[in-house]
A and B are shown apart, each in its own frame.
Chain A
Amino acid sequence: MIQIKNLHKSYKMGASSLHVLKGINFEVEEGELVAIMGSSGSGKSTLLNILGMLDVADEGDYILDNVPIKDLNETKAAKYRNKFLGFVFQSFNLINYKSALENVSLPLYYQGIARKERQVLALDYLQRVGLKDWATHLPSELSGGQKQRVAIARAMASRPKVLLADEPTGALDTKTSYEVMDLIQKINQEGKTILVVTHEPDIAQMCKRIVQLKDGVIIEDKKVEQVIASKYVQ
């Protein structure tokens, strides 16, 4: 699903430049649930941004679902993002003046899907995350966990190839974190490829594979015994 070869990225900081990614090579198969771990400054967020086409690598190849991602302009990147990727953010990033349902249907709007169909689809995804009854509520009326579930429904709604989650549990308490991870695991079981950036070991253990980053290189890449989150959810 994802192939990355010799990926380099550096940021210019005034006169000096900061080399963040120093040759990343890794592949993700379809249906994998990968945790990308590392301390802050290890380059994990930069890697995720490049994977999410929010940022462009200086060097190296990136192939997503057999499509080489290169020569991106903003419009092309937007279309690829819409078609291939679903984003889940640490701070949820729901649009605060739109109801849960409207938030979920937003990527469908940008896909050009008709209004009625959009609503049906969005409601369906809200049901899957268990928030059908909250469809008309604004984000401010939802709890943190509910917000993240709406965000996951939104990321899923466009039927992406890959789900990218940047610290999805970073703003949540442990119990809610496990609920969210439970949801992510369930989506994964349905066959979706998911990448989760986290610095929490317990969250990483709930994935099937852990990629450890340090100072811009992968220092460890191992398959793990998946901890089933639902066991911790009462």
Chain B
Amino acid sequence: MNSLKALFDQDTWQEIFGSISKNRTRTVITVIGVLWGIFIYIALSGAAKGLDNGFERQFENIAMNSMFVWAQRTSIPYDGFKIGRNIELKLSDIEYLKKRVPEIEFVAPRNARGVFGGTSPLVVRKNKSSNYNVYGDFPEYTKIATKKIYDGGRFINEEDIKYRRKVCVIGERTQTELFAEDENPIGQYVRIDNIYFQVIGVHKYVPGGGFESDGDIFIPFETYRQIYNSGESVQWFTIAAYDDADVVAVEKDIKAVLKRIHRVSPDDERAFGGFNLGEIFNKIVGFSKGMTLLSLIVGIATIIAGVIGIGNILLISVKERTKELGVRRALGATPAEVRNQIIIESVFLTLVAGILGIILGAFVLAGINAATLDLTDFPYTNPTVPIPYILGALFIMVFLGTLIGLIPAQRAVSIKPIDALREE
């Protein structure tokens, strides 16, 4: 109660400012200790967060727990078949997969021209032409990998599939290369391998989606099937598991099921290829979590070291000020008043140092942000420290400052005024 009153008393602060400003070297050294601590904390955890954000941005357009699975050649003779048999994924596999592996949320079968070998189809519009990769897709695909479509357009829908419509979604680059700048491509026609397709949308290219590019053209899966006569075969499946599923286990299950369907030896590791985004993503997330944890530990440790430094310096200063404190006691300062003064001094120094450190840290983060703003090939976005973390750090500092201040304060109080005055 008494100490609370002291906290809001102008005179207390007068006394504290007096003793702080008159012991300038001590104050500066003390402040630097804690300032450095919080600065390290802010800068490190902000930088780690930037990396975290960067990775997140990199993966924002694709489901975190998704994978690609494709068929290759067998490497083990099995069930009467020779080694080196070519396997093809079939549309009918989907049903089995969904039945056998309940963790699967979506399966999007995909076919493409020009991606894995082969030449990209020639796409012609009026007097302009170029080669682009063409994908045959189901609408489900967008549930796994988001495709941002520019205003006015859309992605392939169920109707397109059902009626095998000759429609296509083109890429940004396709638009700039085939259309005039002021031209709206939607509703226009392009010729893909000599068949006219109506453009229904332009997708925005987001980096990080694997092998896709800003020139890709998407057409309905069924249309693709008809044009290229692909029948039941599927080049690869893009599969998303439920959020809580273990993606590594799911991939294993999927491959096991596919091996059973296609009569491949269960030990054949090469018959089916897979690229597990979820697994890679988990590794990256683990890495950035580790970074965050590391920065937290280093930061907190530095803050603690700084606060202990404050305690240490206050302890020395109490020793130095033994006589002064004795005089104050002789003049009528109660032990509580002396104790409060030293604790408030400690907390105040900690807090000032902390706030300065936070400001400095914020400047450094702003600098990092400005420097990494234009980087597109390095995953780094918006290095920040959440406000609750900063408040938390401040709270820890005030708490530690009080705690550490108790030591010199207790020492100051334990000195009897008579001993303090006798000391020459």
Instruction: Say which residue of A55, A82, A102 sits within 8 Å of B332 (CB atoms).
Output: A82
Indicate if the CB atoms of A78 and B418 lie closer than 8 Å. no
How long is the Cα–Cα vector from A87 to B15 in the complex, in angstroms? 21
Q: A102-B18, A115-B14 are in contact. Are A49 and B418 (CB under 8 A)?
A: yes
Tell me if B416 and A111 are in contact (CB < 8 A): no
Assess whether B18 is in contact with A75, with CB atoms less than 8 Å apart. no
A-side contacts of B230, CB under 8 Å: none
**Known A55-B418, A93-B323, A115-B10: A110·B331 in contact at CB below 8 Å:** yes
Q: Is the CB of A95 within 8 A of B324?
A: yes
Tell me if A79 and B418 are in contact (CB < 8 A).
Answer: no
- Once bound together, how far apart are the Cα atoms of A83 and B332, in whole Å? 8
* A74 close to B (CB within 8 Å): yes
Q: A91-B424, A115-B10, A115-B11 are in contact. Are A54 and B416 (CB under 8 A)?
A: yes
Interface digits, A91-103 against B, CB 8 Å rule (1 contact, 0 not)? 1011111100010
Q: Does B18 contact A98, Cβ atoms closer than 8 Å? A: yes
Given the complex of chains A and B, what is the CA–CA distance between A154 and B332 in angstroms?
Answer: 12
Enumerate A51-84 residues with CB–CB distance to B below 8 Å. 52, 54-55, 74-75, 78-79, 81-83
Chain B residues with CB under 8 A of A106: 328, 331
Q: Is the CB of B331 within 8 A of A79?
A: no
Instruction: Evaluate contact between B323 and A97: CB separation under 8 angstroms.
Output: no
* A109 in contact (CB, < 8 A): yes
Kindly state whether residue A193 has any CB partner on chain B within 8 Å: no
Asked whether B327 lies within 8 Å of A74 as measured between CB atoms, the reply is no
B208 proximity list for chain A (CB < 8 A): none
Bound CA span A52–B10, Å: 30
Docked Cα-Cα span, A54 to B335, in Å, equals: 13
Which chain A residues border B323 with CB–CB below 8 Å?
A: 93
Interface residues on A, range: 20 to 34
Q: A224 to B330: give the CA distance in the assembly, Å.
A: 31
Q: B337 to A110, Cβ gap below 8 A?
A: yes
Q: How far is the CA of A49 from the CA of B418 in the complex (A)?
A: 7
Are B331 and A75 in contact, with the CB atoms below 8 A? Answer: no
Task: Return A43 CB to nearest CB of chain B, in Å.
Answer: 14
With A89-B421, A95-B327, A97-B22 already in contact, the answer to whether A74 and B11 are too (CB < 8 A) is: no
CB distance from B4 to the nearest CB of A (A): 16
Contact A97 B18 (CB under 8 A): yes
Does the CB pair A93–B10 fall under 8 Å? no
Q: How far is the CB of A87 from chain B (nearest CB, A)?
A: 5
- Check if B332 sits within 8 Å of A79, measured CB to CB: yes
Q: A54-B418, A55-B418, A115-B14 are in contact. Are A74 and B335 (CB under 8 A)?
A: yes
Q: Given the interface contacts A75-B335, A91-B424, does A81 sit within 8 Å of B330 by beta carbon?
A: yes
Q: Given A78-B329, A110-B337, A115-B10, do A54 and B15 touch, yes or no (CB 8 Å)? A: no
Considering only CB atoms and an 8 Å cut-off, how many residues of chain B contact the other chain? 28
Give complex CA distance A111, B18 in Å. 19
Query: Which residue, A52, A78, A83, A89, has most C-beta atoms of chain B within 10 A?
Result: A78
**Residue B23, interface by CB 8 Å:** yes
Q: A75-B335, A78-B335, A93-B323 are in contact. Are A87 and B22 (CB under 8 A)?
A: no
Q: How far is the CB of B98 from chain A (nearest CB, A)?
A: 79
Q: Which single residue of chain A is at the shortest CB-CB distance from B323?
A: A93
List the B side residues contacting A81 at CB < 8 Å: 329-332
Chain B residues with CB below 8 A from A55, complex form: 418
Chain A residue with the shortest CB-CB distance to B14: A115
Contacts of B326 in A (CB 8 A): 93
In the complex, which of the residues A79, A87, A109 contacts B11, with contact meaning CB atoms closer than 8 Å?
A109
Query: For window 373-424 of chain B, which residues contact chain A by CB distance below 8 Å?
Result: 413, 416-418, 421, 424
* A158 proximal to B (CB < 8 A): yes
Q: Which of B23, B413, B421 has the most CB of A within 10 A?
A: B421
A107 within 8 A of B: yes
Q: Which residues of B contact A94 (CB under 8 A)?
A: 327
Is the CB of B146 closer than 8 A to any CB of chain A?
Answer: no
For B329, the closest partner residue in chain A by CB is: A78
A107 to B11, CA, bound (A): 13
Q: Closest approach, in angstroms, between the C-beta of B25 and any C-beta of chain A? A: 13
Encode A115-139 as 1/0 by CB contact (under 8 A) with B: 1000000000000000000000000
A209 to chain B, nearest CB (A): 25
The chain A residue with its CB closest to the CB of B335 is: A74
As a 0/1 sequence over residues 207 to 244 of chain B, the CB contacts with chain A under 8 angstroms (1 = contact) are 00000000000000000000000000000000000000
A-B contact pairs, 27 of them (CB 8 A): A49-B418, A55-B418, A74-B329, A74-B334, A75-B335, A78-B334, A78-B335, A78-B337, A81-B329, A81-B330, A81-B331, A81-B332, A82-B332, A93-B326, A93-B327, A93-B421, A97-B19, A97-B22, A97-B23, A98-B22, A109-B11, A110-B333, A110-B334, A115-B10, A115-B11, A115-B14, A154-B331
Q: A78-B333, A81-B332 are in contact. List 10 more A-B contacts (CB 8 A).
A: A55-B418, A74-B329, A74-B413, A79-B332, A81-B330, A83-B332, A96-B324, A106-B328, A109-B15, A158-B331
